[in-house]
Structure 1
Amino acid sequence: MKIQSVLGPIDGAELGRTLFHEHLFIMFPGAEYDSTVTFDREAEIAEAGQRLTRLREDHGVRTFVDPCPIELGRDADAMRRISELSGVNIICTTGFYFQPMGLPPYWANSTTEQIAELYITELERGIGETGVRAGALKCATGAGQISESERKCLNAACIAQRETGVRILTHTTSGSCGPDQQDIFLAAGVPETAIVIGHCCETGDNAYHRQIVDRGSYIGFDRIGWANYNSDEARADALALLIEQGFEDQILLGQDRYTAMRGRYGRPQSAQEVADMEEAKRQGAWPPPYTHLFTDFFPLMTARGVPEERLYRMLDVNTNRFFSGGAPAASQMA
């Protein structure tokens, strides 16, 4: 099965070591109208190219998946240029974010079929006039329950997945609604192995994780390093338990980090969050690098008895299998 990168289709063998949920640029809806903020797109592209080059040279990363929602500043042309600069494959997605942080009214009030038509167009023909084709579908839901408009977007993704065969990557909020997302996908006939339920490391609840992996889908531990969502120690404990239970073939790793935030964050931030961010900027450590997984999180896992080679297998093998359409070993899905 060919996988669509921003530079064109590639074979699964070309994916190599893959970070499956990261971002280049984020811009929340409305920031484009903020005349008090200056964006330096060329400088951002250059910085992103350097960051991805370092990932490739220092940590062997060959593919970078950026599931940026359509309305959060997705810049397909910039992705293509950054891939050319860095020598790293980039896979982008089509799909909307969750309410109230995204999902513009035009699309929230569209029909499921109209949304699906957009998704299929971006997957098969390309994004706008860029010629860049999306390589996967992005879905997102808010905390606690799935809204009517979010449900339409999930159902549209099901239509597009059945039409094109591409994979579905999701955003969940506050460790909730992952099994509910999976219910919708499976009921619509999406293969369980074509689904990764994202941001599951926001909760350490093993029962929540097991609801997903027991039904054969992949699970994303893909906000590693974000202390405001959960501690890395809690993530490491939860991940080690899933590995002990035999589900390491169904786990994908990522950090949900970005090179640049264009404008302000899309939700109110506490005074402490703002202060921490400003201090990190003064120290030259914001936005944080994409290397945290290797330099900080892997040592937490080895301290819990998980050898590095098993962690690298999640980056080298699991993501390849997921995008290529393969299934985890049957023993992992018992």
Structure 2
Amino acid sequence: MTFIRTLTQDIQPSELGVTYAHDHIYCLPPYWQSKGEADLLLDDAQASGKELADFVACGGQSIYDATAPDYGRDVRVVAALAQQYQVNIIATAGLNKGFLWSSRYPHAKTHPHCGESFAQWIERHSVEQISQHIAAEVVVGIEGTAFRAGVIKCGTGYNQISPLEHKVMQATALAVKETGAPMHCHTEMGTMALEQLAILKQQGVDLSRVGLAHLDRNPDPWLHQQIAKTGAFLCFDGMSRIKYFPEHIRSQALIALCKKGYQQQILIGGDFARKSMSAHYGLGGLGLAYILRDWRPRFVQEAHAEGLDGEALLHDFFVANPARYLQFA
């Protein structure tokens, strides 16, 4: 029997509904705290709750919260918000990326279980020990709670995979195979995606269980098609970030994938991770509802102009694809 593991309960894939496949709800990243980057701290539960209320008002039902422990995860707060606003929230086990726990920044990372840096913790433990810790967050509970993770995460840096990141990838691959959980991979600016998939394939991971984040930061049609050929999911999660490129570039990349027949491997999220992105943290941002409220109708028009059924594509992106991706194998 298939299921999706949310913080509050296991649900059937048909219950997932309209889903953001990569966002953050409440988090206090230690690295950014140490640097005084207040914009990157989503530290007001009431404001985050209002964002969830807006999301629900626009038809949203579920969110994959990609906040790993090295990015300041607080599962108790997020679970309370999930219950209050009746949103299915899928939590993360695993780790994010080496930048957050590199030994070059020892002041920035403290492992919640032992008080040492994440780099020290990874170095001190074997691949099997790290895998067991990750799997326990999926099967038993997170940080002494009964709340369980529904996705396992790993990540790599910009145009490189460090030795510690490679070790974590091996551990997450073992945990994925043991638990049957889906896998989420952070790519820095959309780089190293094919390299990640090669490592995971070598470790025996079913690549159709893998979703790669931030691929719209690198809107390269050839690269996207090579990734899609492996069976992996491609997550486009940078809507509204005009500082990288105009929005139509992202739409063109999505449409190019759809024209090649890969519409069933596309996921959408907002990577909502800054106060300045929020409509309720006091800085006047677009808010968590932006994608459903504003981007969605725009994409329908752009797809129609290319001879495609935008509504049908969006049903795949927001409903059908997340329901397949987030299932436990």
Pick from 151, 154, 158: which aligns with 1:136?
Answer: 151
Residue 210, structure 1, aligned to residue 211, structure 2: no
Is 1:308 aligned with 2:311?
Answer: yes
- 2:6 — aligned with what? 5
**3-state SS of paired residue (2:315):** helix
Q: CA deviation at 1:135?
A: 0.7
Unaligned runs of 5+ in 1: 262-276, 327-334
- Give distance in 1, aligned partners of 2:312 and 2:283: 31
Question: Distance in 2 between the 1:33 and 1:302 partners?
Answer: 42
The answer to whether the 8 Å contact 1:200/1:219 transfers is yes
Residue 192 in 1 paired to residue 207 in 2?
yes
RMSD between superposed Cα atoms in Å: 2.7
Q: Indicate how the Cα distance of structure 1 residues 312 and 35 shifts in structure 2: closer, same or farther if over 3 A, else same.
A: closer
Q: CA deviation at 1:158?
A: 0.6
SS of the aligned residue for 1:56 comes to helix
TM-score (norm 2): 0.85
Alpha carbons of 1:13 and 1:299: their partners in 2 closer, same or farther (altered >3 Å)? closer
Deviation at 1:22, TM superposition (A): 0.5
Shift of residue 281, structure 1, vs aligned partner: 9.4
* 2:236 counterpart (218, 221, 224): 221
Partner of 2:20: 19
The residue identity in structure 1 corresponding to 2:93 is T
Give the residue type in structure 2 aligned to 1:294: L
Q: 2:126 aligns with which of 88, 111, 116?
A: 111
Matching residue of 2:51:
51
Larger mean Cα displacement after TM superposition, 189-198 or 28-37: 28-37
Partner amino acid, structure 2, of 1:231: P
Deviation of 1:308 after TM superposition, in Å, equals: 2.7
Task: Give the distance between the partners of 2:180 and 2:282, measured in 1 at CA.
Answer: 45
Find 2:295's aligned residue among 294, 297, 310: 297
- Counterpart position of 2:115: none
The structure 1 segments of at least 4 consecutive aligned residues displaced by more than 3 Å after TM superposition are: 30-37, 228-231, 280-284
How many residue pairs get aligned? The number is 305
Q: Is the 8 A contact 1:140 1:170 kept in 2?
A: yes
Contact 1:218 1:250 in 2 (8 A): yes
The question of whether the paired residues in 2 share the 8 Å contact of 1:72 and 1:102 is answered with no
Q: Match of 2:190, SS?
A: coil
Gaps of 5+ in 2: 103-117
CA contact (8 A) 2:20 2:268 kept: yes
C-alpha distance in 2 between matches for 1:168 and 1:282: 31
Name the aligned partner's letter for residue 159 of structure 1.
Answer: L
Q: State the shift of 1:184 in Å.
A: 1.2
TM-score, normalised on structure 1? 0.84
Q: Corresponding residue for 1:74?
A: 73
Q: What is the distance in 1 between the residues matched to 2:328 and 2:92?
A: 17
- 1:200: how far off? 0.6
Structure 1 residues 29 and 244, CA gap change in structure 2 (3 angstroms):
same
Amino acid at match of 1:154: M
- The alpha-carbon deviation at position 323 of structure 1 amounts to 1.5
1:29 offset after TM fit, Å? Answer: 2.0
Equivalent pair of 1:201/1:230 in contact (CA under 8 Å): no
Shift in Å at residue 34 of structure 1?
8.2
Measured after TM superposition, the shift of residue 282 of structure 1 is: 10
Please give the per-residue CA displacement for 1:35-94, whole angstroms capped at 9, x wherever unaligned. Answer: 998xx99x822222222122112x211111101121111000011100011010100011
1:90 equivalenced with 2:104 (yes/no): no
Deviations 1:192-221 (A, max 9, x none): 211111111011111111111111111111
Match of 1:167 in 2: 182
Q: 3-state DSSP class of the match of 2:165?
A: helix
Letter in 1 for 2:66: P
Task: Give the deviation of 1:160 after TM superposition.
Answer: 0.2
- Compared CA separation, residues 80 and 204, structure 1 to 2 (3 A): same
What residue in structure 1 maps to residue 108 of structure 2? none
Task: Please point out which of 121, 124, 144 is paired with 2:139.
Answer: 124
SS of the residue 1:156 aligns to: helix
Superposed displacement of residue 283, structure 1: 7.4
**Aligned-partner residue type, residue 108 of structure 1:** I
The structural deviation recorded for 1:240 is 0.9
Residues 51 and 280, structure 2, Cα contact 8 Å, conserved in 1: no
Task: State the SS of the aligned residue for 1:26.
Answer: coil
- When residues 187 and 248 of structure 1 are mapped into structure 2, their CA distance, relative to the original with a 3 A threshold, is same
Q: Give the 3-state SS of the residue equivalent to 2:146 in structure 1.
A: coil
